[in-house]
Amino acid sequence: MAIKLSENSIKVLKRRYLKKNETGKVIETPEEMFRRVARVMASAEKGYGKSQKEIADLEESFYRIMASLEFMPNSPCLMNAGNELGQLSACFTLPIEDSMESIFETLKITAIIHKSGGGTGFSFSKLRAKNSVVKTTGGVASGPVSFMKVYDAATEAVKQGGNRRGANMGILRVDHPDIKEFIACKENNKEISNFNISVALTDDFMDRLKKGEDYDLIDPHTKKSAGKFNSKEIFDLIVKQAHKNGEPGVIFIDRINKYNPTPDLGSIESTNPCGEQPLLPYESCVLGSVNVSLIYRNTADKAGFEVDWQRLKEVTRLAVHFLDNLIDVNKLPLLQIDNATKNTRKIGLGVMGWATLLIRLGIPYDSEEAISLADKLMSFILTEARKRSQELAEIKGVFPSFSGSIYARRDSSTKMRNATLTTIAPTGTISIIAGPCSSGIEPLFAISYYRNVMDNDKLVEVDPLFEEVAKERKFYSRELMEKIAESATLKDIEGIPDDVKKVFVTAHDISPEFHVRMQAAFQKYTDNAVSKTINFPHSASLEDVKSAYILAYESGAKGLTIYRDRSREEQVLNIARKEKVQEQKELAPGKIAPRPRPEMIIGTTTKVATGCGNLYITINIDEAGMPFELFTQMGKAGGCAASQLEAIGRLVSLAFRSGIEVESIIEQLRNIRCPSPSWDKGQRIFSCADAITRVIEKRLMNGVALNAAVMPDETELTMKHAYNDEGNTHKKNSSMTIVGMCPDCGEVLRHEEGCVKCQSCGYSKC
C-alpha cells in the first residue's frame, strides 16, 4: 500500500527515525521502517506457539495500521525496534529513598535510561527537609530541591547525544516541609531546566482549601507532624508561580491511587515527564495513539461525515495487541525495570487528531456536542481495549500481579492481560509523522502562517482542512490567507462565513473552562491520565488560573498543566521600539549610509565554545539602544581564520549601522556549517558564523542588549519571527503558544501537552 506522507513528515522521519549508516546517510525508507517495526512486534508470537502463517498475517496487520497512519506507537519503538539498543519504552519512574546511597544509585540508573532515550519521573517526597539533622554524620540535610539540581546537572551532561533528550518529572507532596521552596524552584527558568515539576495535592489539602484551614506538614523521616501551613497560602503560591511561567503543575495524588490497579504492589508516587502516566517504581510506559482524524466515513445521506466506529474497533483491537507484544520484545535497560514492567504489563493507548476530526465532522471544539462525542469515543476505545485484553489473557495468560489487582477483587473470573489500557499521551512528533493531524486532544494552534523562502518570497502555509473548505466554499484567496497569518484568530477576519469561524477555533479562542471539560471528558475513560495544556491568554488573572485548578479537581481530572501565553522569560521577544526601527529604515530614501560612530558606546561580550576554540563576541549599542557594531576575538585563530572573522564582524557592523533589520542578518548567517561543529550550553554550534548569529539573537532579539533605560516591561512581548534550520526560512504567527526556539532546527517551540516541543523537526524537551 502507498504511504501518504507530508513533506514535514518525511523531513522528521529522515532527521530522527529512519536508519542511518556510519556516515549519517539515511539507508531506510518510511515503508521499510514500518515493516521493521511490524516484524519485530509480530515476532513476540513465537513465544506463544503461533505458526509462521499466523505471525506473517499479524505482521501485515500491524504494518497496515501504521502505514495507513491510523496508529502510531511511541517514538522509541519507531526508532529502536530491530536495532541493537531495542529500548522501546518512552519513560520510566524511579524510587528515591532518604539515603545518599539511594539518591545516587537512582541517579546512575537515570543516566543509563537517558542514554537509551527514555525520560524519568521521581517523587522527592521521601527526602528529609532542608536543615534536618543527619544523625550518621552530625551534619544537616540539604533538602529535595538541592538534589533535584544534581539530577538536572547530570541530565544536562548526558543528553547531548542520541535522537531524544532526557527529561524529568519532579514531584513533591504538598505536605512536605520544603514545599514552598519546591513551588518556587523554577522561578528562574534557567534553573532546573531539564525538569517539569508538579505538586502532589492530597484530598485532605483540597478539603481544607475549601474551608481556608491550615493543614499538617509531615516530616518524611520521622513521619511526625512538622508544623502547619495555611492551605490557601500554599495554593495561592502554586497559582502565582503557574501564572508566571506555567510551573508547577499539579497532580491529585489520592485520586491517582484510588484508581491504582495493583494496590498490593504499593502506592503510586510519581508520573512520567508529561504527567499522563502514573507508575509504580521501576515501571515503564508502553504508549501508542490512534489517529482518529482518519477514522471517519460519509454519513448515510452523503451530506457530511461521521466516526467510522467499525474501523475504530478494528484499529483499537490491533493496537492493544501491538502494545502488549511490545512488552515482550522490549529490551529494557535494567532487570528491575524489566521485571516491574512485565509484572503489570501496563499499556497506554490514546488518541491524536482529535481537533482535526472535530473539524472534519463540523463540530466546534468548544461545544457541548464535542464534549459528548469525546465521552462516547473514549468510552468506545476503552471498552474495545478491555475486550481485546481479556481475549489475550485467555490465550497468553493474565499479567503476573492479577490476583492482587482491582480486577480480581471485582470479578476473578474476568481475566485481564494488562493492568491498564488507556492513556492520552503527548503526540507531538508522531502526529507530525501522521499529519496533517492535530496533537493528542489539543485544539489547533494556528490556521495559517508565513514561511519565507529564498529572495524574501513569502509563502503562506494553511491548515489543509481550512484550505479545502475555503476553496470548496469559494472564499479562498492568497490575500485572505495572508490576513489570517497575521492574526491570532479568525474572529475579526472579514470574508469568512460565521459557521466556518465557529468550527476553526484555535487554542486561545477556547475558554479555559472548555479546555478543562474536554480533559475531564477523556479522563473519565482513561485508565492512566491525560496529557493536555490548559491555555490562557496573556491577560488571564490569578483568579482565572485558580478557578481552572478547582474545576479540574471537581471534574475528576488526575492533574493539570496550565500555560499563560507569553509568560516565559525565554520566550522569543520582538524589540518594541518600532519607531526607532522605522527611523533606521528611513535614514536616507533611495540610499543607505552607515550612521557615524558616537564618541562613547557600550556593549557586552559573550564567550561561545566553537569547534575552533572559544570565540569572544562583542556587540556594542548606541545611545538609542540600537545595535551599532560587532567585534570578534579568538585566541588561537590566525591568518585566514582571523581575517574571515574580522570580515564577518565588519560586514555585520556595517549592516547594523545602515539600519538593516537584525532578522535579515540572522537569516543570512544562521546555520552556516563548517567541518567542526560543537555544542555550547545545550545548543549545537555549526560554525563561527553560526555562533555569531546565536549571540546576535540572544542579545538583540530578546532585549538583553537594549539601552539600559528600556526595561523588560517596556518590551513588546509578541512573537514575530523565528528561524528554521535551513537558514533562509521562518514562520510567523502570533497565535501560537510560543516559548522559544528549537535548539535543533531553529523553528518555534510551543508549550503543548505539558511539554515544550517543535512542530517542524519533532524535537521535544520531554
- The catalytic residue positions are 272, 274, 276
Nearest to 182 by CA among 213, 155, 139, 220: 220
Strand 722-723 relative to strand 730-732: parallel, antiparallel, unpaired? antiparallel
Cα–Cα distance between 573 and 566 in angstroms, integer?
Answer: 9
Which amino acid is present at 163? N
CB 492 within 8 A of CB 473: no
Cα–Cα distance between 34 and 19 in angstroms, integer?
Answer: 12
Cα–Cα distance between 705 and 646 in angstroms, integer?
Answer: 21
CB 603 within 8 A of CB 621: yes
Buried b (16+ CB within 10 A) or exposed e, 28-50: bebeebbbbbbbbbbbbbeeeeb
Helix axes 144-158, 100-115, angle to 10 degrees: 30
Cα–Cα distance between 25 and 224 in angstroms, integer?
Answer: 60
Nearest to 250 by CA among 141, 174, 178: 174
Chain centroid to Cα 263, Å, comes to 30
Cα–Cα distance between 85 and 380 in angstroms, integer?
Answer: 36
CB 40 within 8 A of CB 88: no
Chain centroid to Cα 303, Å, comes to 37
Cα–Cα distance between 348 and 89 in angstroms, integer?
Answer: 11
Rg, C-alpha atoms of the chain:
27
Q: Where are the beta strands (DSSP E) in 157-292?
A: 168-173, 195-201, 214-218, 225-230, 249-252, 270-271, 278-279, 284-285, 287-291
**Conformation bin of residue 131: beta by default, left when phi > 0, alpha when psi is -120 to 50:** left
Chain centroid to Cα 17, Å, comes to 18
Distances from the Cα of 159 to the Cαs of 116, 193, 345, 763, in angstroms? Answer: 10, 12, 28, 13
Strand partners, 49: none
Residue linked to cell 496533537: 439
Q: Within 13 Å of residue 197, how many CA atoms lie on the same side as its CB?
A: 32
Which amino acid is present at 353? G
Strand partners, 450: 460, 732
Strand partners, 534: 562
Three-class DSSP category at 120: strand
DSSP conformational letter for 258: H
Phi, psi for 428 (deg, rounded to 5): -50, -50
DSSP string of 650-697, one letter each residue: HHHHHHHHTT--HHHHHHHHTT---S--EEETTEEE-SHHHHHHHHHH
Task: Report how many helices (DSSP H) and strands (DSSP E) the chain contains, helices first.
Answer: 25, 31
Other residues' Cβ atoms within 10 Å of the Cβ of residue 602:
12
CB 152 within 8 A of CB 167: no
**Conformation bin of residue 275: beta by default, left when phi > 0, alpha when psi is -120 to 50:** left
Helix axes 368-396, 354-361, angle to 10 degrees: 130
